[in-house]
Protein backbone atom coordinates (compact mmCIF):
# COMPACT_ATOMS: atom_id res chain seq x y z
CA UNK A 1 0.00 0.00 0.00
CA UNK A 2 1.26 3.48 -0.69
CA UNK A 3 0.10 7.05 -0.28
CA UNK A 4 -0.06 10.11 -2.50
CA UNK A 5 3.37 11.56 -3.22
CA UNK A 6 5.15 8.21 -2.82
CA UNK A 7 4.57 6.62 -6.22
CA UNK A 8 8.14 7.42 -7.33
CA UNK A 9 9.48 5.35 -4.44
CA UNK A 10 7.11 2.48 -5.24
CA UNK A 11 8.11 2.66 -8.93
CA UNK A 12 11.78 2.31 -7.96
CA UNK A 13 11.03 -0.64 -5.68
CA UNK A 14 9.24 -2.46 -8.50
CA UNK A 15 11.92 -1.82 -11.10
CA UNK A 16 14.63 -3.02 -8.69
CA UNK A 17 12.81 -6.27 -7.81
CA UNK A 18 12.08 -5.19 -4.23
CA UNK A 19 8.33 -5.75 -4.18
CA UNK A 20 6.32 -8.84 -5.13
CA UNK A 21 2.72 -7.66 -4.81
CA UNK A 22 0.82 -4.42 -4.19
CA UNK A 23 -2.51 -3.91 -2.44
CA UNK A 24 -3.67 -0.35 -2.76
CA UNK A 25 -6.52 2.13 -2.88
CA UNK A 26 -8.07 3.08 -6.20
CA UNK A 27 -7.11 6.71 -5.68
CA UNK A 28 -3.42 5.80 -5.71
CA UNK A 29 -3.57 3.48 -8.71
CA UNK A 30 -6.09 5.28 -10.93
CA UNK A 31 -6.60 8.93 -9.93
CA UNK A 32 -2.90 9.48 -9.29
CA UNK A 33 -0.72 6.99 -11.15
CA UNK A 34 -2.78 6.02 -14.22
CA UNK A 35 -4.01 9.61 -14.59
CA UNK A 36 -0.44 10.95 -14.75
CA UNK A 37 0.67 8.12 -17.05
CA UNK A 38 -1.92 9.42 -19.53
CA UNK A 39 0.05 12.67 -19.57
CA UNK A 40 -1.97 14.69 -17.05
CA UNK A 41 -0.75 16.31 -13.85
CA UNK A 42 -1.61 17.27 -10.32
CA UNK A 43 -1.00 20.87 -9.32
CA UNK A 44 -0.01 22.60 -6.10
CA UNK A 45 -3.16 24.06 -4.59
CA UNK A 46 -4.34 26.02 -1.58
CA UNK A 47 -6.41 24.63 1.27
CA UNK A 48 -7.94 28.08 1.79
CA UNK A 49 -9.11 28.43 -1.81
CA UNK A 50 -12.73 29.28 -2.56
CA UNK A 51 -14.18 25.87 -3.50
CA UNK A 52 -17.15 27.46 -5.26
CA UNK A 53 -14.75 29.29 -7.58
CA UNK A 54 -12.83 26.06 -8.16
CA UNK A 55 -16.08 24.30 -9.03
CA UNK A 56 -16.97 26.99 -11.57
CA UNK A 57 -13.53 26.58 -13.16
CA UNK A 58 -13.83 22.76 -13.20
CA UNK A 59 -10.92 22.29 -10.82
CA UNK A 60 -11.17 19.50 -8.24
CA UNK A 61 -9.33 20.00 -4.94
CA UNK A 62 -7.68 17.17 -2.99
CA UNK A 63 -6.64 19.01 0.18
CA UNK A 64 -3.76 21.17 -1.13
CA UNK A 65 -3.66 19.61 -4.62
CA UNK A 66 -5.62 20.53 -7.74
CA UNK A 67 -6.71 18.28 -10.59
CA UNK A 68 -8.38 19.26 -13.88
CA UNK A 69 -11.96 17.93 -14.01
CA UNK A 70 -11.98 17.63 -17.80
CA UNK A 71 -8.76 15.61 -17.78
CA UNK A 72 -10.23 13.37 -15.09
CA UNK A 73 -13.22 12.68 -17.35
CA UNK A 74 -10.78 11.54 -20.06
CA UNK A 75 -9.26 9.16 -17.50
CA UNK A 76 -12.77 7.87 -16.68
CA UNK A 77 -13.59 7.25 -20.34
CA UNK A 78 -10.24 5.53 -20.93
CA UNK A 79 -11.20 3.09 -18.19
CA UNK A 80 -14.62 2.62 -19.87
CA UNK A 81 -12.94 1.87 -23.22
CA UNK A 82 -10.56 -0.66 -21.65
CA UNK A 83 -13.55 -2.38 -20.04
CA UNK A 84 -15.42 -2.51 -23.37
CA UNK A 85 -12.53 -4.40 -24.98
CA UNK A 86 -12.26 -7.09 -22.28
CA UNK A 87 -14.39 -10.26 -22.05
CA UNK A 88 -17.82 -9.46 -20.54
CA UNK A 89 -17.44 -11.42 -17.31
CA UNK A 90 -16.38 -10.83 -13.70
CA UNK A 91 -12.74 -9.79 -13.39
CA UNK A 92 -10.55 -9.31 -10.35
CA UNK A 93 -9.11 -5.84 -9.92
CA UNK A 94 -5.72 -7.42 -10.63
CA UNK A 95 -6.91 -8.55 -14.06
CA UNK A 96 -8.28 -5.15 -14.90
CA UNK A 97 -5.18 -3.30 -13.69
CA UNK A 98 -3.08 -5.66 -15.81
CA UNK A 99 -5.18 -4.56 -18.79
CA UNK A 100 -4.54 -0.94 -17.78
CA UNK A 101 -0.83 -1.74 -17.86
CA UNK A 102 -1.19 -3.26 -21.34
CA UNK A 103 -2.91 -0.06 -22.46
CA UNK A 104 -0.12 2.11 -21.02
CA UNK A 105 2.49 -0.10 -22.66
CA UNK A 106 1.20 1.26 -25.96
CA UNK A 107 -0.21 4.68 -25.10
CA UNK A 108 1.60 6.01 -22.02
CA UNK A 109 2.79 9.60 -22.30
CA UNK A 110 4.58 9.30 -18.97
CA UNK A 111 6.17 5.87 -18.54
CA UNK A 112 7.25 6.55 -14.96
CA UNK A 113 4.17 4.67 -13.79
CA UNK A 114 3.53 2.10 -11.06
CA UNK A 115 0.79 0.44 -13.15
CA UNK A 116 3.06 0.16 -16.17
CA UNK A 117 6.09 -1.01 -14.18
CA UNK A 118 3.98 -3.66 -12.43
CA UNK A 119 2.73 -4.86 -15.82
CA UNK A 120 6.27 -5.07 -17.20
CA UNK A 121 7.67 -6.87 -14.14
CA UNK A 122 4.68 -9.20 -13.55
CA UNK A 123 3.89 -7.72 -10.13
CA UNK A 124 0.18 -8.15 -9.35
CA UNK A 125 -1.66 -5.06 -8.14
CA UNK A 126 -4.90 -5.44 -6.19
CA UNK A 127 -7.40 -2.69 -5.37
CA UNK A 128 -10.10 -4.28 -3.18
CA UNK A 129 -12.40 -1.24 -3.41
CA UNK A 130 -11.75 -0.61 -7.10
CA UNK A 131 -14.97 1.30 -7.83
CA UNK A 132 -14.18 3.83 -5.10
CA UNK A 133 -12.12 6.01 -7.44
CA UNK A 134 -12.15 7.40 -10.97
CA UNK A 135 -12.35 3.83 -12.30
CA UNK A 136 -15.81 3.55 -10.80
CA UNK A 137 -17.18 6.26 -13.08
CA UNK A 138 -15.72 4.59 -16.15
CA UNK A 139 -17.12 1.21 -15.17
CA UNK A 140 -20.57 2.68 -14.45
CA UNK A 141 -20.52 4.23 -17.94
CA UNK A 142 -19.44 0.89 -19.40
CA UNK A 143 -22.23 -1.07 -17.70
CA UNK A 144 -24.90 1.58 -18.37
CA UNK A 145 -24.27 1.54 -22.11
CA UNK A 146 -23.69 -2.23 -22.29
CA UNK A 147 -26.59 -3.53 -20.16
CA UNK A 148 -26.63 -7.03 -21.70
CA UNK A 149 -22.93 -7.87 -21.85
CA UNK A 150 -20.55 -6.03 -19.59
CA UNK A 151 -17.54 -6.49 -17.35
CA UNK A 152 -17.77 -6.40 -13.56
CA UNK A 153 -15.22 -6.35 -10.75
CA UNK A 154 -15.34 -9.34 -8.39
CA UNK A 155 -13.99 -8.42 -4.94
CA UNK A 156 -14.26 -12.03 -3.76
CA UNK A 157 -12.04 -13.09 -6.66
CA UNK A 158 -9.59 -10.44 -5.47
CA UNK A 159 -9.54 -12.02 -2.04
CA UNK A 160 -9.06 -15.50 -3.51
CA UNK A 161 -6.21 -14.39 -5.77
CA UNK A 162 -4.53 -12.59 -2.87
CA UNK A 163 -4.76 -15.82 -0.91
CA UNK A 164 -3.21 -17.70 -3.85
CA UNK A 165 -0.25 -15.32 -3.69
CA UNK A 166 0.11 -16.06 0.02
CA UNK A 167 -0.03 -19.82 -0.55
CA UNK A 168 2.59 -19.59 -3.32
CA UNK A 169 5.07 -17.94 -0.94
CA UNK A 170 6.76 -19.91 1.86
CA UNK A 171 7.42 -16.69 3.77
CA UNK A 172 5.55 -13.40 3.52
CA UNK A 173 5.85 -9.98 5.09
CA UNK A 174 3.89 -6.75 4.89
CA UNK A 175 5.00 -3.16 4.54
CA UNK A 176 1.92 -1.00 5.04
CA UNK A 177 1.69 2.70 4.33
CA UNK A 178 -1.51 3.97 5.92
CA UNK A 179 -4.30 1.50 6.54
CA UNK A 180 -7.94 0.85 5.76
CA UNK A 181 -9.26 -1.75 3.32
CA UNK A 182 -5.88 -2.65 1.70
CA UNK A 183 -4.36 -3.29 5.13
CA UNK A 184 -7.13 -5.67 6.14
CA UNK A 185 -7.19 -7.57 2.83
CA UNK A 186 -3.44 -8.16 2.93
CA UNK A 187 -3.52 -9.40 6.51
CA UNK A 188 -6.60 -11.59 6.05
CA UNK A 189 -4.96 -13.91 3.52
CA UNK A 190 -3.56 -15.96 6.41
CA UNK A 191 -7.03 -16.58 7.88
CA UNK A 192 -8.48 -17.31 4.41
CA UNK A 193 -5.78 -19.88 3.70
CA UNK A 194 -6.46 -21.64 6.99
CA UNK A 195 -10.21 -21.62 6.32
CA UNK A 196 -9.54 -23.37 3.00
CA UNK A 197 -7.68 -26.13 4.84
CA UNK A 198 -4.09 -25.08 4.17
CA UNK A 199 -1.44 -24.99 6.85
CA UNK A 200 0.28 -21.68 6.32
CA UNK A 201 2.40 -19.43 8.46
CA UNK A 202 1.43 -16.02 9.70
CA UNK A 203 3.07 -13.08 7.96
CA UNK A 204 6.65 -13.35 9.17
CA UNK A 205 7.04 -9.63 9.66
CA UNK A 206 4.92 -6.52 9.36
CA UNK A 207 5.74 -2.82 9.40
CA UNK A 208 3.09 -0.12 9.30
CA UNK A 209 3.78 3.56 8.80
CA UNK A 210 0.77 5.57 9.87
CA UNK A 211 -0.44 8.71 11.61
CA UNK A 212 -3.71 7.01 12.63
CA UNK A 213 -4.50 6.51 16.31
CA UNK A 214 -5.76 3.20 17.66
CA UNK A 215 -8.00 4.77 20.32
CA UNK A 216 -11.03 5.23 18.05
CA UNK A 217 -11.08 1.51 17.28
CA UNK A 218 -10.75 1.99 13.51
CA UNK A 219 -8.70 -0.39 11.40
CA UNK A 220 -6.16 2.12 10.09
CA UNK A 221 -4.75 2.70 13.55
CA UNK A 222 -5.16 -0.82 14.92
CA UNK A 223 -1.87 -2.23 16.12
CA UNK A 224 -0.11 -5.20 14.57
CA UNK A 225 -0.18 -6.89 17.97
CA UNK A 226 -3.95 -6.77 17.71
CA UNK A 227 -3.65 -8.55 14.33
CA UNK A 228 -1.65 -11.28 16.08
CA UNK A 229 -4.72 -12.18 18.14
CA UNK A 230 -6.40 -13.10 14.84
CA UNK A 231 -3.43 -15.22 13.76
CA UNK A 232 -2.47 -12.82 10.96
CA UNK A 233 0.90 -11.35 11.97
CA UNK A 234 3.78 -12.83 13.96
CA UNK A 235 4.62 -10.44 16.81
CA UNK A 236 8.29 -11.47 16.81
CA UNK A 237 8.93 -8.96 14.02
CA UNK A 238 6.23 -6.30 13.97
CA UNK A 239 6.67 -2.58 14.16
CA UNK A 240 4.22 0.31 14.23
CA UNK A 241 5.88 3.49 12.98
CA UNK A 242 3.85 6.56 13.86
CA UNK A 243 5.27 8.99 11.34
CA UNK A 244 4.38 10.99 8.25
CA UNK A 245 4.74 8.56 5.35
CA UNK A 246 6.45 10.87 2.85
CA UNK A 247 9.27 11.26 5.38
CA UNK A 248 9.54 7.74 6.79
CA UNK A 249 8.92 5.59 3.70
CA UNK A 250 11.69 7.04 1.47
CA UNK A 251 14.16 6.62 4.35
CA UNK A 252 13.15 2.99 4.80
CA UNK A 253 13.22 2.27 1.06
CA UNK A 254 16.60 3.99 0.70
CA UNK A 255 18.05 1.90 3.51
CA UNK A 256 16.75 -1.34 1.94
CA UNK A 257 18.11 -0.32 -1.46
CA UNK A 258 21.50 0.48 0.05
CA UNK A 259 21.74 -2.97 1.64
CA UNK A 260 21.79 -4.36 -1.93
CA UNK A 261 19.97 -7.67 -1.35
CA UNK A 262 17.78 -6.93 -4.38
CA UNK A 263 20.74 -7.43 -6.74
CA UNK A 264 20.78 -11.22 -6.34
CA UNK A 265 17.12 -11.70 -5.52
CA UNK A 266 15.09 -13.92 -7.86
CA UNK A 267 12.05 -12.19 -9.33
CA UNK A 268 8.82 -13.77 -8.04
CA UNK A 269 6.57 -12.58 -10.93
CA UNK A 270 3.43 -13.60 -9.06
CA UNK A 271 1.19 -12.44 -11.91
CA UNK A 272 2.20 -15.68 -13.63
CA UNK A 273 0.12 -17.58 -11.08
CA UNK A 274 -3.00 -16.52 -12.90
CA UNK A 275 -4.46 -17.30 -16.30
CA UNK A 276 -3.63 -14.35 -18.58
CA UNK A 277 -6.45 -12.24 -19.93
CA UNK A 278 -7.61 -13.34 -23.36
CA UNK A 279 -5.59 -11.15 -25.74
CA UNK A 280 -7.46 -7.92 -25.02
CA UNK A 281 -7.59 -5.34 -27.73
CA UNK A 282 -5.78 -2.20 -26.68
CA UNK A 283 -8.22 0.67 -27.25
CA UNK A 284 -7.08 3.88 -28.82
CA UNK A 285 -6.60 6.98 -26.75
CA UNK A 286 -9.55 9.12 -25.71
CA UNK A 287 -9.54 12.82 -26.49
| DSSP per position, the chain | ---TT-HHHHHHHHHTT--S-EE--HIIIIIIIIHHHTT--EEE--TTS-HHHHHHTTEEEETTEEEEHHHHHHHHHHHHHHHHTS-SSEE-HHHHHHHHHHHHHHH-S----HHHHHHHHT--EE-TTTTSSHHHHHHHHHHHH-SSS--EE-HHHHHHHHHHHHHT-SS-EEEEES-SHHHHHHHHHHHHHHHTT---PPBSEEEEEE---GGG--STT--HHHHHHTTSB-GGGEEEEES-HHHHHHHHHHHHHHH-GGGGPPP--GGGGSPPP-----PPP--
Tally of CB atoms within 10 A around 210: 23
Directed axis angle between helix 93-107 and helix 155-167, to 10°? 90
Say which of 7, 166, 183, 232 is annotated catalytic: 232
Query: Are the beta carbons of 10 and 22 closer than 8 angstroms?
Result: yes
CA separation for the pair 200, 16 (Å, rounded): 28
Note if 232 is an active site residue: yes
Whose CA is closest to 146, among 99, 76, 91, 87?
Answer: 87
| Active-site amino acid positions | 232
Amino acid sequence: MFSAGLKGVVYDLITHNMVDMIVSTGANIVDQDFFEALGFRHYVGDTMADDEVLREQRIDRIYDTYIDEDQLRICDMTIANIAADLPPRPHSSREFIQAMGAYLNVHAKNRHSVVLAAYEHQVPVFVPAFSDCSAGFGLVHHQWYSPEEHLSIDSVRDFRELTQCKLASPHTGLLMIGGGVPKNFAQDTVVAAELLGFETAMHKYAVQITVADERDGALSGSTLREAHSWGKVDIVMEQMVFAEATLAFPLLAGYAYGKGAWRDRAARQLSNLFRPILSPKVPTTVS
